[in-house]
């Protein structure tokens, strides 16, 4: 069984008892969070597709940790002009574990 859930504006295909990295959520660590924007639900035999979301279907997750992703280096250069610019960026993430799809 899996579901496609809208989490912070991004769509994730989630299954029970799996861990995922999602964009930073405003929730405390070790707390339960409920996602009610479920776009698709399937159990292997039947598939339900929302228009745009399914009514009465919820995905429950546990917030494990807030952390930062690996650094991404952005380097810009223009030839023969002595123009070089280096920028770094680390994305803020939340690690969640899907506990129940109901």
pLDDT of residue 99: 98
What are the boundaries of each domain within the chain? 2-101
The share of the chain scoring above pLDDT 70, in percent, equals 100
pLDDT of residue 74: 97
In angstroms, the Cα distances linking 40 to 5, 11, 29, 58 are 7, 10, 27, 11
Query: Rounded to whole angstroms, how far apart are CA atoms 59 and 57?
Result: 7
How does residue 92 score in pLDDT terms, banded at 50, 70 and 90?
Answer: very high
pLDDT digits (tens, 9 = 90+) for 54-85: 999 999 999 999 999 999 999 999 999 999 99
């Amino acid at each position: 069984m899996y579901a496609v859930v809208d989490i912070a504006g991004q769509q994730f295909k989630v299954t029970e008892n799996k861990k995922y990295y999602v964009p930073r959520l405003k929730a405390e660590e070790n707390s339960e969070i409920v996602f009610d924007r479920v776009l698709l639900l399937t159990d292997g035999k039947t598939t339900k597709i929302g228009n745009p979301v399914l009514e009465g279907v919820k995905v429950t997750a546990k917030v494990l940790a807030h952390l930062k992703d690996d650094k991404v280096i952005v380097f810009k250069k223009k030839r023969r002009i002595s123009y070089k610019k280096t920028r770094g960026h680390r994305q803020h993430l939340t690690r969640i574990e899907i506990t129940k799809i109901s």
